[in-house]
Structure 1
Amino acid sequence: MEIKNIRKLQNGSDVRGVVLDGVPGEVVNFTQDMTMKIAFSFAIWLEKKLGKKAPLSVAVGRDSRISGPHLAQAVALGLVSKGNKVYQCGIATTPAMFMTTVDPELDADAAVMVTASHLPYNRNGLKFFTKAGGLDKEDIAEILELAETVETSFTPGGQAVDCDFIPTYSRNIVKLIREKTKQDQPLATTRIVVDAGNGAGGFFAEQVLKPLGADTTGSLYLEPDGNFPNHVPNPEDKTAIAHITKAVLDNQADLGIIFDTDVDRAAIIDEKGNAINRNGFVAFIASILLAEYPGSTIVTDSITSTGLTDYIESLGGKHHRFKRGYKNVINEAIRLNEAGVETHLAMETSGHGAIRENYFLDDGAYLVTMALIKFSELHNAEKPVSSFLEGLKQPAEEKEIRLKIQTADFKAYGQKVLTAFKTFAADQPGWNLVEPNYEGVRVSCDEMAGNGWCLLRMSLHDPIMPLNIESDSTGGCEIIETALMQFLNQFENLGK
C-alpha cells in the first residue's frame, strides 16, 4: 500500500477506510502501517499544537470491530515511538476517550478512538481529541499530509500501560444523575432495556442503569461483537429500531435506549414502542434545555422539520437550522456563543448531539443521561415518556431521494443544479424560498402545492445530491416530488 494514499482516508474530521477483505468491490486501503504513521504524525502535530515536548500522555480506545485490536496496537506503537505515554483503554466509547483528557486523575493530553461508527464490519477509522475537543477537518488534513512525508524514528522513554477507563466514566454518569435527581436510586421500580448492537455501549446497562435501580431485563446485544451479527448499530436504521421496539413491548419496559457502535449517537423508545429519534430526539433534548435556559438558541442540521421549528419556538426558544455534518453543527453553536448568542444544544437528526455544559462533546451517552433525568421526573409524577412530546407536530410523510451526479467535476455540476433550482422554485405557485438558509436550497410549499417543504443540497463528500421532502398531508410528498422531478430530469448527468 502506497503511503501517498493516506490523505484519501480523510472523511471530514475523521479518518476512515477499508481494513478487511471480504466485501465484494471493496479493496483494503487502510493498513496497520498507515495507522502507525498517522499516529506518529499526530504526536508531532500535538507537540506543535500544545507547545510541549514528549513525553505527552495519550489515551487510546476502540470499539468492538474485529480489526480494532490491531489498529489500536498500531496507534500505540506510533505514539510510543515518539517517546509518549499511552493509556491503552481497550473497548471504550468515543465520548469516554475525550473524557480522559478532562478527568482529574488521568489528565491525558490527548486521545485517539479507533472506530468507524455505524459503518460495516470491514471498515475502521480514527477520531482524535485534545482537551479543546475533537479535531477539525483542517487539523486532520495537516496530520495526514505529514504522515505521507514524515520519516518515522524512535525516541526512547515511551511506554504503554493498561487503563480501563469505562468504570470511571460510568461512575461519573451515575453521580451526575444522582445529583440532578437528588435520589440514590432514581430508576427504582422502572424497567429499561438497552440495545447496544454488539458495539461498545453494553456497559450502560450494567454500570449505569443497574446502580441507579433499573431492571434491565430484556436488554439486547450487550456483548461486543465486531461482526455485528444482529443488526447495524445505528439509531437511524429501521431494522435496529425494530429490534429495540420489540424488546420494549415484549418486556413491558418503561423506556428503551439504543446506541450506535461507539456511543456518540443514541435514541430512545417510549413505553408504547414509538422511537424518539431524529426530530423527536432533538425536540426532547431541546425542551429540557429550554426549561433551564429560556430563550436560548438550538442549532440543528439542515433537514430538520418545520414542526420542530414550531415546537422550539412554542417553548420560547430560537431554531437555527444550519448545515449537515456534526462538526459543522457543533462549530456553529460555538461560534454563536462567541458572538453573544446563548446556545446550549447543537444536534443533528442522525442522533449526534452536543451540549454546552458537556464541553460541546458529541456524546450519545450524555444525551441519554439527560433523558434519564427527565424520565425519572416523569416517572415520579406517574407520567409516561410518551406524554412529554405531545406538542411536537410530526409530518404525515417524509422521503429522501439520493440523486447521483455522473460527472467528474461533481461539485461544479451540483452548484449549477442548485442555482437553476433556486430560480425555478422562486417562480412556482405556492412555493417560497426559505431564508436564511445555510445549505442547498430549501422551499416551503403551501397547501395547494404539497403542504410541506423540500431541500435539495450537495452531499458533504460524495457526488450525491440528497433531496429531502416532508409533507403535513397524505399525498403531499408525491405532489412536491412530481414537480421537482419534472425540473431535475433536464439535467443529463443527474440520476437516481
Structure 2
Amino acid sequence: MDNNCLYNLQNGTDIRGIALKNDSQEINLTDKEVKAITKGFYKWLLNRKKINNLKISVGIDSRLTGSGFKHSIIKTLVGYNVCVYDCNISTTPAMFMTTVMDGYQCDGAIMITASHLPYYYNGIKFFTKEGGLEKSDIKEVLDLACEEIDKEDNTIIRDTEVRRMTTIKPLIDDYSKILVQKIRECVNSKEDFNKPLKGLKIIVDAGNGAGGFFKEKVLDVLGADTNGSQFIDPDGMFPNHIPNPENKEAMESIKNAVLKNNCDLGIIFDTDVDRAGLVDKSGDAINRNSLIAVISAIILEEHEKTTIVTDSVASDHLGDFIKSLGGKYHRFKKGYKNVINEAVRLNNEGEECYIAIETSGHAAMKENYFLDDGAYLISKILIKVAKLKIEGKSIEDLISNLKHPVEEKEIRIKLSEQNYKEISNNILNEVTNAVDSNENMQLDKNNKEGIRVVCNKNLGDGWFILRCSLHEPKMVINIESNKNGGIQEISSFIKETLSKYKAHEIK
C-alpha cells in the first residue's frame, strides 16, 4: 500500500477521511487504516509512557461508521494487552477528561469523530493528559502506522479476551455531573441551590450529534424548561441539518425554534461538542464575534485586564469592545490549536491570558485545561445567565455596546492542486504589491498570517485578510466593511488584481 494514503488522512491535528460510499469521493478510511493508526498511537504512547500496562479510553460521536471503527480500535488495543475504557457515544472534550478525571486517569484517549463534516466522513482525535496531540505528534503516529499497514496480522483475539480487557464507562453521566456541580456552586442560588436555572426556558439543538445529553443531564437537572429542544437523538445521517454553529441553515433552525417556543435562550452544538453557539430571546445569533464578546465580558469580570486571544478574522469592533472592558485584544492565526497554543505561550511568558477563542466557536479556558469544550463554554455562560436573571437582565445586556460591521463576507478561491503553494505565494505577493501602490489601502504590520489590509473610506471602509486555507488547496478572503457596498469595492479590487491568473491556476 502507498504510505502516502495514510499521510493524506492527516488534517492538522486530526485524522479525517471518507468512510462511507458517496457520489463524489472514494473511500479512503477503512478498518485497515484505522487499525494501523491505532497501532501507531499505541507505539507512540508507549514510547512516552515507558510502561507496558497502558490504559486507553475510546469514544464515538453519532456517525454511522463509529461503532465499527470503535470495535476495530478496541480489539487492536486489546491485542497489545491494553486496558480499554469503552465510553460509547461521548464528546471530544469529555474524552480528554478521561485522562485527568477521578475514576478514569487514562494514559491516552481516542475519539472517533469528523466534527461537523458530512455523514460520509469519519476521523480520529487523540489525547493525553497534556492535551490534544500536536500536528508533529500526528505525523509521528502516522510514521509508526506506516510500519504496520501492510504487516500480516495472524493474532487471534477472542471476544472473551476483549470483554475481559474492556470496561464500559458512563463517561457522559460522569462528565455531566461535573458541569452540573460547577453551575450550582458558582450560581449559589439562595432560592434553590439545586435548580439555579428554574424559571428559564432554554432549548438545545444537537443536530443529531453527540450533544443531546446536555438537555437531559444538565439543563433538566438544573431546573430549566427545555420543551422545544430539537434533534437531540443521535443520528449519523444528520437528517435535519449539519451540526455546526457556523452553518446558516443550522442557525436559522435554532433561531426559529427559540422564537416559536418563546425561549430565553437557544443552544446549538457541533457534532462532537467542542464548539457551540447561542441564540437570544429575540432570535439573534450569538456566535462568531458576538460569542467571543459574551465570554470575554464574563472572563474580564473575573480577571481584569486579561488578554483575550482570538483568530485572525475576528472583528475590529470586537477588539474595541474588549478594550472598552479593560481587556487586551490579541488577534492571532486561524486554527483552534494555534489560538490555544498562543494563549499557553503568553501565560508561560508572564502575560495573563484566561481564554483562547476562535470565531468558529472553539473556546478554551485556562481554568479548564485550555480544552476547547463547547459544553463547558455554555456552562460558564449559563452561570452568568442565571445571575443576570436575578438582576432582571439577560445575556443581550452583556454585549449591548458591541458594534457590528455593516457587511462581512468570506470568499474561497480554489487553486490547482499540483502547485497550489507556489500559486498562493504568488497571489500574496501580487496583492501586496497592488496594496503598496494604492493610496486607499495599507498593510497591517501587526498580522500573523497571510496579509491583512486596512482600507479607508474611499475603498471599502474596513479590512480584508487573504490567507492560505489550513487544510485545502485554497485561498481564503475574509472581508469586513463599515459601509453599504464596501464588500463590493474591496472584492472588485482583489478580483482585478488576480485577473492575470489563468483558469487552470484559479478555478
- Residue 484 of structure 2 aligns to a residue in which SS? coil
Name the residue aligned to 1:20.
20
The answer to whether structure 1 residue 362 and structure 2 residue 361 are counterparts is no
- Residue 444 of structure 1 aligns to a residue in which SS? strand
1:467 counterpart letter in structure 2: I
Which of 413, 419, 429 matches 1:419?
429
Instruction: Output one character per residue of 1:79-123: Cα deviation in whole Å (capped at 9) or x when no partner.
Output: 111111110011000011001111111111111000000111111
Name the residue aligned to 2:187.
181
Name the residue aligned to 2:177.
171
Structure 1 segments, 4+ long, off by >4 Å, are 1-4, 151-158
The answer to whether structure 1 residue 276 and structure 2 residue 282 are counterparts is no
Alpha-carbon distance in structure 2 between the residues aligned to 1:2 and 1:445: 48
- Residue 412 of structure 2 aligns to a residue in which SS? strand
Alpha-carbon distance in structure 1 between the residues aligned to 2:445 and 2:367: 30
Name the residue aligned to 1:457.
467
Alpha-carbon distance in structure 1 between the residues aligned to 2:168 and 2:234: 19
Instruction: Output one character per residue of 1:125-182: Cα deviation in whole Å (capped at 9) or x when no partner.
Output: 0000000000001011111111111356869987112112100100000000011111
CA contact (8 A) 1:39 1:76 kept: no
Name the residue aligned to 2:125.
127
- Residue 438 of structure 2 aligns to a residue in which SS? coil
TM-score (norm 2): 0.95
- Residue 357 of structure 1 aligns to a residue in which SS? helix
Alpha-carbon distance in structure 2 between the residues aligned to 1:482 and 1:295: 40
2:176 counterpart letter in structure 1: S
Q: Select between 276-285 and 408-417 the one with higher mean Cα deviation.
A: 408-417
1:361 counterpart letter in structure 2: L
Name the residue aligned to 2:339.
329
Alpha-carbon distance in structure 2 between the residues aligned to 1:74 and 1:385: 45
Alpha-carbon distance in structure 2 between the residues aligned to 1:435 and 1:286: 25
2:39 counterpart letter in structure 1: F
- Counterparts of residues 329-478 of structure 1 (less than 5 Å): 329-406=339-416, 408-478=418-488
- Counterparts of residues 25-424 of structure 1 (less than 5 Å): 25-50=24-49, 52-150=50-148, 151=151, 159-183=165-189, 184=193, 185-406=195-416, 408-424=418-434
TM-score (norm 1): 0.97
Instruction: Output one character per residue of 1:50-88: Cα deviation in whole Å (capped at 9) or x when no partner.
Output: 2x3221111100000010000111111221111111100
CA contact (8 A) 2:258 2:283 kept: yes
CA contact (8 A) 1:256 1:268 kept: yes
Alpha-carbon distance in structure 1 between the residues aligned to 2:143 and 2:222: 47
2:12 counterpart letter in structure 1: G
Alpha-carbon distance in structure 2 between the residues aligned to 1:279 and 1:4: 38
- Residue 408 of structure 1 aligns to a residue in which SS? coil
Q: Give me the CA root mean square deviation.
A: 1.6
Cα offset for 1:384?
Answer: 2.3
CA contact (8 A) 1:81 1:153 kept: no
CA contact (8 A) 1:488 1:494 kept: no
2:101 counterpart letter in structure 1: D
Alpha-carbon distance in structure 2 between the residues aligned to 1:211 and 1:201: 16
| Count of residue pairs the alignment pairs up | 494
Cα offset for 1:491?
Answer: 2.3
Alpha-carbon distance in structure 1 between the residues aligned to 2:155 and 2:95: 26
Change in CA separation of 1:7 and 1:153 when aligned onto 2, cut-off 3 Å = farther
Alpha-carbon distance in structure 2 between the residues aligned to 1:319 and 1:154: 55
2:29 counterpart letter in structure 1: F
- Residue 468 of structure 2 aligns to a residue in which SS? coil
Alpha-carbon distance in structure 1 between the residues aligned to 2:479 and 2:3: 42
CA contact (8 A) 2:430 2:497 kept: no
CA contact (8 A) 1:396 1:474 kept: yes
- Residue 454 of structure 2 aligns to a residue in which SS? strand
Change in CA separation of 1:205 and 1:407 when aligned onto 2, cut-off 3 Å = closer
Contiguous gaps of at least 5 residues in structure 2: none
Q: Select between 340-349 and 59-68 the one with higher mean Cα deviation.
A: 340-349
- Residue 104 of structure 1 aligns to a residue in which SS? coil
Identity %: 47
- Residue 137 of structure 2 aligns to a residue in which SS? helix
Cα offset for 1:427?
Answer: 2.3
Contiguous gaps of at least 5 residues in structure 1: none
